[in-house]
Amino acid sequence: MSLPLFIAVALAVAALLGIAEMRALEGARRWLGMAAALVAPVLLYFALFPPPQAGRGRELVVLTAGTPADFHVPAGALVVALPGSEAAGVERVADLATALRRHADAQSLHVVGAGLSATDRDAARGLPLRFDAAPLPRGIVALEMPPAVLAGHAFTLRGRVAAATGAQLLLLEPGGRRQGPLAAATDGSFRFDAFAPRAAELSYELQLLDAGGNVLDRVDVPLAVREGRSLRLLLLAGGPDPDLKYLQRWALDAGHRVDARISLSRGIAQQRGETNLSDATLAATDVLIIDERAWSQLDKATRTRVLDAADAGLGVLLRLVAAPSPALLAEWRGLGLALQSAPDAASVHLSGAAEGSVLQRLALSANDASLLPLARDRDGNAFAVARNRGQGRLGAWWLQGSAGLVPSGQAVLHDQLWADALDVLARPRQAPPPSAPAWAWQDERIELCAATPALSVAAADATGAAESPAATGAAGTPGPAGAPRAAVEILTQARGDGRWCGGFWPREPGWHRLQAGDAETLLFVRAAGTAVALHRAETLAAMRALPATATTVRDPQRPGPRWPWFLAWLLPGSLLWWLQRRARRDGSGA
Spans of all domains in the chain: 3-51+560-589, 58-134+537-559, 139-226, 232-425, 446-469+479-528
**Which residues lie below 8 Å from residue 191, measured CB to CB, with a gap of 6+?**
156, 157, 158, 159
pTM across the whole model: 0.58
**pLDDT score for 485:** 63
CATH number, span 446-469+479-528: 2.60.40
What DSSP assignment string belongs to 476-514?
---GGGSPP-PPEEP--EE-TTS-EEEEE---S-EEEEE
Tens digit of pLDDT for each residue in 257-275?
999 999 888 778 888 888 8
**pLDDT score for 480:** 44
**pLDDT score for 557:** 52
Q: Give dist(CA 137, CA 85) in Å, integer.
A: 16
Task: Give me the residues paired with residue 230 across strands.
Answer: none
Q: Which fold has domain 232-425?
A: Rossmann fold (3.40.50)
What DSSP assignment string belongs to 391-454?
TEEEEEE-EE-GGGGTTTT-HHHHHHHHHHHHHHHSPP-SPPPPB--S--BTTS-EEEEESSS-
Report phi then psi at 501, rounded to 5: -130, 150
Q: Is residue 27 within a helix (H) or strand (E), and if so which, with residue range?
A: none
Distances (CA, A) of 478 to 35, 172, 434, 468, 495: 80, 17, 20, 10, 34
Return the percent helix, strand and coil in the chain, to nearest 5.
30, 30, 40
Query: Looking at 325-329, 363-367, 585-589, which range is the least confident one?
Result: 585-589
Q: Which homologous superfamily does the CATH classification assign to the domain defined by 139-226?
A: Immunoglobulins (2.60.40.10)
Domains 232-425 and 446-469+479-528 share a fold: no
Q: Give dist(CA 526, CA 205) in Å, integer.
A: 13
Query: Looking at 151-165, 181-195, 345-359, 576-590, which range is the least confident one?
Result: 576-590
Length of the chain: 590
Q: How confident is the model at residue 244 (pLDDT cuts 50, 70, 90)?
A: very high
Print burial letters for 387-421: b (CB count within 10 Å at least 16), e (below 16).
bebeebbbbbbbbbebbbbbeeebebbbbbbbbbb
Answer whether residue 482 shows pLDDT above 60: no
Answer whether residue 409 shows pLDDT above 50: yes
By DSSP bridging, strand 78-81 and strand 382-389 are: unpaired
**pLDDT score for 377:** 83
